[in-house]
Structure 1
Amino acid sequence: MASAYGFASPTKLRFSPLPSFSHQPAANQLFATPCERNCAVACYLRMPSRIRGRKNHPFFTAGPRRFPRFSLSKSLELEEFVTSDDEDEMGDGFFEAIEELERMTREPSDVLEEMNDRLSARELQLVLVYFSQEGRDSWCALEVFEWLKKENRVDKETMELMVALMCGWMKKLIEGAHDVGDVVNLLVDMDCVGLKPSFSMIEKVISLYWEVAKKDEPILFVKEVLRRGIAYSDNDGEGHKGGPTGYLAWKMMVDGNYRDAVKLVIHLRESGLRPEVYSYLIAMTAVVKELNEFAKALRRLKGLAKDGLIANLDVENVVLIDKYQSDLLADGVCLSKWVIEEGGSSLHGVVHERLLAMYICAGHGLEAERQLWEMKLVGKEADGDLHDIVLAICASQKEVNAIGRLLTRTETASSMRKKRTFSWLLRGYIKGGHFDDAADALIKMLDLGVYPDYLDRAAVLQGLRSRIQQSGDVGAYLKLCKCLSDANLIGPCLVYVYVKKHKLWIVRML
């Protein structure tokens, strides 16, 4: 007989189809005799209000109760829990329990309490399976499970079985044409009977919607969960916190829909639904990824324009590009404020880290530098590579004061660290076309005993040479050549300068 102890995840099971919800028999077909009808009415009036309302539940199947010989439907495919051998192991108590529960003349808890000593753990599991089959009152399975919980008779195998059944019902609702409200109601019913799986069933529902390519329904589902205030686990057992909004935003990010993830979180927050705090951080990550992808696309576009394959961007397109980037940054700043308002001080460092990444992707040097200091103030020091990247951005924009502040870190740094920092500084100057400043940085490196790489030296010299052709100023070029020669980084060379006004060539040995 198959065992359930090897069960890894309910998603690996094949679930049985749900009862048909379209069939609703006429009122005069519900009871065979007036006596049976009166007995059922009396039983209904004794029921708790929660159970009386189950007629509207998508898994309530109304109809005459006639007890058949128990057999496993071919449509039921929970092989890890049930095999054909189980029927031979069932005693008379099992069939009597099924018959009593089918009649619905007494509370399920009363029936089970009366027959408690006659039902084994395996038979109780099969009761759950029986009422999950097509055409049965699936709500009864929930009531049986509720009684098992109260009697402390839910072991690991029974819990896994019930979770598998519930996942099957969820999947049937989602794949069908059922309203999102039915799915939410089922979640509420699960909570009422104490069914709390080790994973988040809300995240499971979102995943099921995503698998069947229904993109609008999970948004409606998350809205309904937040509106009703349905409790959800905000910790996955590994210290990672989350919730429905953040999980849905993460699913969107996995598909590359970064902008949609940001809009989702902002829309829910502005609608007054108050998503979980960690969803704001996930949305900030989506802003970073969108800015990064946008920057890469813009670089490719400029490269094509430089090669003459497409026309240069006109003023209108440049304005649109700047606006899109500004809107993304504004969304990120808005999300950061919500995290600081609603989250604890422990999240402040993470917020400034996300803001730093945003401004780096957008190429905003001064704002990025400010986030470095903000991180330092809250005790979250950024690593040296991030400082160097911000330094390069500031160098490309020739932010003199910011460059001076960022270079103070090199005073106590090792020789290797100094070389890395100055290499980033040179690249920033070269990218911004500030070759005089790049030459000064090279000379400063030599004064500090740090030797620049060949490519960095060559790039600065080439930039200075191209400038000589435009302005005729050779001072910076000659100065740098002499320093490099003194440091034995270049060999002796002759510099030829032609003075056009006097038609005079000047030759100088370095």
Structure 2
Amino acid sequence: MAFAPLSLALTSCSFQRNRFLIPRCHYYSVQSCSRIPTRVSNYQNPRFSYSVSKRNIIRSVELDRFITSDEEDEMSEGFFEAIEELERMTREPSDVLESMNDRLSARELQLVLVYFSQEGRDSWCALEVFDWLRKENRVDKETMELMVSIMCGWVKKLIEGEHVVGDVVDLLVDMDCVGLRPSFSMIEKVVSLYWEMGQKERAVLFVKEVLRRGIAFSEDDGEGQKGGPTGYLAWKMMVDGNYRDAVRLVIDFKESGLKPEVYSYLIAMTAVVKELNEFAKALRKLKSFAKAGLIAELDADNVGLIESYQADLLSQGVCLSEWVMEDGNSSLNGVVHERLLAMYICAGRGVEAERQLWEMKLAGKEADGELYDIVLAICASQKEMTAISRLLTKMEVTSSARKKKTLSWLLRGYAKGGHFENASETIFKMLDLGLFPEYLDRAAVLQGLRKGIQQSGNLEPYLNLCKRLADEGLSGPCLVYMYMKKYRLWIMKML
């Protein structure tokens, strides 16, 4: 993922001593996490003198495993003089490096970075050295990768040391001020580090701080995959299966006055879809247990709670969609209606889902034929005849195979909703078109009609379907028995 420059509301991000003479220069010392930098104390002691041996420098650099002892002879005296001069802190690092520019190779400058990046050293110098290299156009790919590795190490140590979140954000700001811009998002890297270390609450606080300070960040493609810190954090929650938490995160950020990226709303809508889908699965399992007699039937109070939970999720999804429309651009309209369509399908809302199909079409994002069939089945289960008629108009211009598939979905929708007479009419329509329903579909409708005789006493739908199936060769002749209780008379009829 591309990394957009970090930026704050500053008049300038130029490198100044006062900006970096702050405690974060010594975040990384093992001996102390003091908020007072060594550089300041050195200036306050006029009798301070410092000398550093060549062997100490070699040993120190070796700690980072950047070079081996075999390379000791390859380093010039200028390298050791530069280290000693920078350690004394009597001149600006840029002045020291400028005076030794011709005496230091690219490799030696990298080693200077490594030396000052280690624990117990003045990390401020490493930042200044890199800034000077960038201004001198001496930052090649290898040097950039080295400094990125150093910065990632510093970030990791801050997180492992449980420093306040503000310290981590400050470090990222410093990184941008010295022109360090890796090919990936450091903000997402930080979120991942917090997440992997189980510090999920700190990850949330970190993203809040990034948004509060208005730090710029990279946004992803139009499909809304992970783009930006809020979306990436919500995505991490979804990976863990915490769909509702991901939704709440984005909504809470927005309602608290922060400005999450637009794509985070789309990711939160995806979380709504997943939560609705999981909720529907659990509900189906619950109903199957009740049907098998393993648990009691759901009472009115429980049904009300179920409907309320589902309605809350849908309202949150609609709210998120409105924010996308307000803060985003028209190119996202199709994606928004696609998410809303998935939400209504999972919730079994046929009419609302059908409306989203047409909204998608108007936005230039045609839905797949399978989605039309699914929505048709939902509408059939709810006997929404007007919506069914509109959806069936699309079937008229399709192939025979496609028509059979669509009508099969319609048939199953009617059967699922208990509308067996409508299902029977659908079978007749299929047979008129030369299409033959599947055996299980025919059997389910016949069974439903047979059960309906006991309730309504109406034999005609069942008898008509039996006769038509027999005429089409889809069933053999059958005997129909009817008992007339008033006359204590059995009547048999061959179909």
TM-score (norm. length: structure 1) = 0.87
Query: Counterpart amino acid of 1:388?
Result: D
Alpha-carbon separation, structure 2, partners of 1:236 and 1:205: 21
Residue type of the alignment partner of 2:209: E
| CA shift in 2, pair 1:165/1:156, >3 Å | same
C-alpha change, 1:398 and 1:109, in structure 2 (3 Å) is same
Separation in 2 of the partners of 1:494 and 1:47?
98
Q: CA deviation at 1:211?
A: 0.7
Name 2:380's counterpart in structure 1.
Answer: 395
Retained in 2: the 8 A contact 1:54–1:139?
no
Aligned residue for 2:475, secondary structure, equals coil
**Which runs of structure 2 are paired with 1:216-365 in the superposition (5 Å)?**
216-235=201-220, 242-365=227-350
Corresponding position: 1:48 with 2:17 = yes
The correspondence of residues 46-445 of structure 1 with structure 2, limited to 5 A, is 48-53=17-22, 58-59=27-28, 61-62=37-38, 65-69=50-54, 70-73=57-60, 76-77=63-64, 79=65, 81-235=66-220, 242-445=227-430
Aligned-partner residue type, residue 291 of structure 2: K
1:265, distance to aligned residue in structure 2 (A): 0.4
Partners of 1:278 and 1:465 in 2: how far apart?
A: 53
Aligned in 2, Cα 1:48/1:451: closer, same or farther, shift over 3 Å? Answer: same
Mapping 1:411-490, distance limit 5 Å? 411-490=396-475
| Cα displacement string for residues 215-262 of structure 1 (whole angstroms, at most 9, x for unaligned residues) | 111111111111111122224899967100000000000000000000
Equivalent position SS for 1:312: coil
- CA RMSD between the two structures: 2.0
1:455 partner amino acid: L
Q: CA deviation at 1:177?
A: 2.2
Q: How far apart are 1:49 and its partner, in Å? A: 2.5
With over 3 angstroms needed to count, the CA separation of the structure-2 counterparts of 1:440 and 1:236, relative to structure 1, is: closer
Q: Secondary structure at the match of 2:219?
A: coil
Cα distance in 1, alignment partners of residues 144 and 416 from structure 2: 62
Aligned-partner residue type, residue 89 of structure 2? M
1:249 touches 1:261 (CA, 8 Å); kept in 2? Answer: yes
Partner of 2:32: none
Report the equivalent of 1:13. Answer: none
**Identity in percent:** 74
- CA distance 1:170–1:431, change in 2 (3 Å): same
Cα separation, 2, equivalents of 1:389 and 1:416: 16
For residue 315 of structure 1, report the CA deviation from its aligned partner. 1.9
For residues 308-346 of structure 1, give each alpha carbon's deviation from its aligned partner in whole angstroms, at most 9, with x where no partner exists.
111222222211111111110010000000001111111
C-alpha contact 1:235 1:241 (8 A) present in aligned 2: yes
Q: Return the alpha-carbon distance in structure 2 between the equivalents of residues 237 and 395 of structure 1.
A: 34
Write the letter of the residue equivalent to 1:76: L
Alignment check: 8 A CA contact 2:62 2:69 kept: no
1:100 corresponds to which letter in structure 2?
E
Higher mean alpha-carbon deviation, 316-325 vs 368-377, is at 316-325
Separation (CA, whole Å) in 2 of partners of 1:470 and 1:137: 88
Residue 507 of structure 1, CA deviation: 1.9
Q: Which amino acid aligns with 1:287?
A: V
Whole-angstrom distance in 2 between the partners of 1:154 and 1:437: 74
CA distance, structure 2, for counterparts of residue 144 and residue 367 of structure 1: 61
Q: Distance in 2 between matches of 1:330 and 1:100?
A: 64
Is the 2:116–2:123 contact (alpha carbons within 8 Å) kept by the matching residues of 1?
A: yes
The structure-2 alpha-carbon separation of the partners of 1:357 and 1:94, relative to structure 1 and needing over 3 Å to count, comes to: same
Go from structure 1 to structure 2 and tell me whether the alpha carbon gap of 1:108 and 1:285 turns closer, same or farther (over 3 Å shift): same
Summarize the Cα distance change of 1:437–1:448 in structure 2 as closer, same or farther, 3 Å threshold. Answer: same
Contact 1:329 1:358 in 2 (8 A): yes
User: 1:285 and 1:72, CA in 2 relative to 1: closer, same or farther beyond 3 A?
Assistant: farther
Letter in 2 for 1:116: N
Asked which structure has the greater RCO (Cα within 8 Å, sep 6+), the reply is 2
1:21-40 residue pairs with structure 2 within 5 A? none
CA distance 1:163–1:498, change in 2 (3 Å): same
Distance 1:75 1:465, change over 3 A: farther
Structure 1 unaligned segments of length 5 or more: list them.
1-45
Q: 1:107 to 1:238 in 2, by over 3 A?
A: farther
Deviates more, 1:115-124 or 1:65-74: 65-74
Given the superposition, is the C-alpha separation of residues 89 and 175 from structure 1 closer, same or farther in structure 2, using an over 3 Å criterion? same
Measure how far apart 1:480 and its partner are: 0.7
SS of equivalent residue, structure 1 residue 507: strand
**How far, CA to CA, are the matches of 1:444 and 1:369 in structure 2?**
23
Aligned length, in residue pairs: 463
Secondary structure (helix, strand or coil) at the match of 1:498 reads strand
Structure 1 residues 239 and 108: alpha-carbon distance in aligned structure 2, compared to 1, 3 A threshold: farther
Paired letter, 2:94: S
Say if 1:61 and 1:135, in contact at 8 Å, map to a contact too: no
Inter-partner Cα distance in structure 1 for 2:90 and 2:273: 61
